[in-house]
Amino acid sequence: MAKPVTTFSCSACGATSTKWSGRCDACGAWNTVSEDVPLSTGPSGKTLGAARGSRIALTDLSSKEAPPPRTASGMPELDRVLGGGLVPASAVLVGGDPGIGKSTLLLQAAAAFANGGLKTFYISGEEASAQIRMRADRLGLAQSPVRLGADTALRNILTTLDEERPDLVVIDSIQTMWSDTVDSAPGSVSQVRAAAHELTTFAKRRGAAVILVGHVTKDGQIAGPRVVEHMVDTVLYFEGERGHQFRILRAVKNRFGPADEIGVFEMTGSGLSQVSNPSALFLSERGKPSPGSVVFAGIEGTRPVLVEIQALVAPSPHSQPRRSTVGWDGGRLAMILAVLESRCGIPFAGLDVYLNVAGGMKISEPAADLAVAAALLSAREDSALPADTVVFGEISLSGALRPVGQTENRLKEAEKLGFSSAIAPEGGKPGGAKGLKLTRMGDLTSFVGEIFGAG
């Protein structure tokens, strides 16, 4: 292999030569000729070497260029999760369990954007166009101006999109796409990475928004290399329990809006309907006050949501009691049980503990600690809390109750749904709903003693 030729250039006029000299032959300047440094050094064929590329366009940070306009779909729950609407030249990755309703959601979204004026394409690698039309007929979307395509060859898809110049493309799903430049089967790590890279590059180059559907693993994570989630601008998870009609669209990553924002949908016979007041929906099946049932005032993204936390404490026939949770972190449950036993003197040894977040919701914020502790104590003491009370607060390992954010929004949402009292930690910002009786607690011991008379 031929050795690359060393070149020299003049810093004054830019003239190049193959040898160094003290005086530039082109402009006559002295001591301006220096050796060109390669872009990178290393083994030949594995680094950029000395070959130069074209110069990229640079702009100032203070540039007055207007941000790209968002396009609203007319589906408020979807627009909320996207951060206010769809951004041109963006790449969105949507993941969810099989059969949860991803294709139904995106077909409804594609029809909404198409009816709003966007040139929309729906490319399926899993279904034929006739099958998609059957679903559109069932959902009442047959008259929407959405162009359908069914193919898995990435080269064919990109060629078609390059000629048609769409505003929005839905790819269902990224695991079925294959590139003829990668020598592996569709769905493999290298194929998924290559397909995601090509489609994301197309979105940035042509200014089209691309929505990719991704399968999930048994752990609930999007299948394929994690680098795919880094490539795209927004990562959404479509969650829900098969036994419930509720579906939650959650933003895990969003470069154009708040993360952890949620949109709530209800699965019906005619597709997914939006839920404008999710708190009322999650509490709709709540019956009379019963031991182990507590209403938690939480925050999901920028939206206050009230959900019911249910606990069951029963004697264990086994030497190792069970600790089972649904919708809540099992490690945090173990921590709360340890704090109750160590700081309040309430043992749970020999007792099975079951904890459930009603409605299929998944809660991760520490503000639910106090509601979980209240549900556990209510179940253990067989004493129900008042039906018109909401509870929230974070528990520290010392047993102290720590204030949480957005207290005012939590209280206003509770008052709007007819609750008349709330229990929250001391401190934090004052204020809240005027028609709500607010009881503040300093530590877990005082909470246990005043509410349950134990500890």
- Residue numbers in the known binding site for ATP are 96-103
Surface-to-core class of residue 387, CB atoms within 10 Å of its CB (0-12 exposed, 13-18 middle, 19+ buried):
middle
Determine which helix (DSSP H) or strand (DSSP E) holds 95, and give its type and residue range.
strand 91-96
Coil, helix or strand at residue 276: coil
Rounded Cα–Cα distance for residues 77 and 248 (Å):
10
Distance CA 206, CA 157 (A): 14
Dist. CA 303–CA 305, nearest whole Å:
6
CA 397 – CA 315 distance, rounded (Å): 26
3-state SS class at 418: coil
The number of beta carbons lying within 10 Å of the beta carbon of residue 443 is 18
Q: Two tokens at 268?
A: 């019906």
Give the annotated binding-site residues: 96-103
* Structure tokens given for 397: 């390992």
- Largest pairwise CA distance in the chain: 96
List strand residue ranges (DSSP E) for 110-261, in order.
Answer: 120-124, 146-150, 168-172, 209-214, 234-239, 246-254
Q: Distance of CA 411 to CAs 203, 237, 262, 292, 414, Å? A: 43, 28, 19, 22, 5
Query: CA 167 → CA 107, 161, 211, 231, distances in Å?
Result: 15, 10, 11, 20
Decide: 294 and 274 in contact? Cβ < 8 Å: no
The phi-psi region of residue 273 (left if phi > 0; otherwise alpha if psi is between -120 and 50; otherwise beta) is beta
Angle, CA 413 vertex, CA 409 and CA 415 arms, to 5°: 115
Partners of 237 in beta bridges: 95, 250
Residues with Cβ within 8 Å of 88's Cβ and at least 6 positions away in sequence, in order, are 68, 69, 71, 167, 207, 208, 209
b/e string for 368-378 if b means 16 or more Cβ within 10 A?
bbbbbbbbbbb
Strand pairing class (120-124; 146-150): parallel
Residues 262 and 298: their CA atoms lie apart, in Å, by 12
